Structure 1
Amino acid sequence: MPETWDYTLYIPNDLRAVTVCRRTVRLILTMHGLIAFADTAELLAAELASNAVRHTKGSAALRVRRFPEGAVWIGAWDGDPEPPDPPRRLEEVEDLEEGRGLGLVMACADNWGWQPATRFGDRGKFVWCDLAVS
């Protein structure tokens, strides 16, 4: 059975936080012997964190967990309770500078979704994805 762990990184509403999230996810996976998945996990974390920071106001959080089944789960919480815009297929947005985020998540993760959530007493949502790494 794989080792389980759970990290949460609280981030300000600042686009520079996306880089911090990317590097933190790479460090977490490296320290837990999962470097082979770091590139994909970094991309997923960056897209989720970027959406949380770009499309909402206030603080956000990135959570990275490893489940007993072996999957790595990455989720971004933000204070906006509205569901994310539906993802568009990458073929539809490949020439755009913006609007590809959830399409990339959908293409690179094994599963993804969103759910209403509260944090710090505020209503909001988690947008999450997972990678089967076992």
Structure 2
Amino acid sequence: MPETWDYTLYIPNDPRAVTVCRRTLRLILTLHGLTGLVDTAELLATELVSNAVRHTKGPAALRVRRSPEGMVWIGAWDTDPAPPDPPRPLEQVIELEEGRGLGLVMACAELWGWQPSARFGDRGKYVWCELGVA
């Protein structure tokens, strides 16, 4: 059975927090010997956290955990309880600067979704994805 762990990084609503999350995620995965996932995980976490910071006004959080099944789960929490807009296929948004985040998540992750969740006393949601450990 693989080692399980769970980290949560609470961040302010500040675009600079995206870089803090990306670097923290890289450190977590490296220290747990999962360097093969770092590039894809950083890309997906950047998209998820960027959406949380860009589209809401409150605090946010990055959560990263490894399940007993060996999957790496990456989630971004924000203060908007509404579901995210459905992702558009990458071929429709590849040239755009914005609007491709969930398309990238859908294309690169084994599984993705969203769920309502409260933090900081606020209603909100997690938008999450899972990566298999090769």
TM bucket (normalised to shorter chain) is: over 0.9
- 1:66, 1:94 → 2: CA distance? 30
Letter in 2 for 1:72: V
TM (norm. structure 2) is 0.98
Corresponding residue for residue 34 of structure 2: 34
Corresponding residue for residue 85 of structure 1: 85
- 2:77, 2:94 → 1: CA distance? 26
Q: Structure 2 unaligned runs (5+)?
A: none
- 1:91, 1:108 → 2: CA distance? 14
Alignment partner of 1:2: what SS?
A: coil
CA displacement, residues 27-84 of structure 1 (integer Å, 9 cap, x when unaligned): 0000000001100000111000000000001100000000010000000000001110
TM (norm. structure 1) is 0.98
Q: CA RMSD in A?
A: 0.7
- 1:110, 1:34 → 2: CA distance? 16
Alignment partner of 2:24: what SS?
A: helix
Aligned residues with identical type, % of pairs: 81
CA displacement, residues 62-119 of structure 1 (integer Å, 9 cap, x when unaligned): 0000001000000000000111011000000011110000000000100000011111
- 2:129, 2:80 → 1: CA distance? 18
- 1:61, 1:126 → 2: CA distance? 9
Alignment partner of 1:43: what SS?
A: helix
The structure richer in strand per residue is 1
> Following TM superposition, by how much is the alpha carbon of 1:7 offset from its aligned partner in structure 2, in angstroms?
0.3
| Number of aligned positions between the proteins | 134
- 2:117, 2:69 → 1: CA distance? 24
Alignment partner of 2:56: what SS?
A: coil
> Following TM superposition, by how much is the alpha carbon of 1:133 offset from its aligned partner in structure 2, in angstroms?
0.6
- 2:95, 2:24 → 1: CA distance? 29
Pairing of 1:1-134 with structure 2 (within 5 A): 1-133=1-133
* Misfit runs of 4+, over 2 Å: none
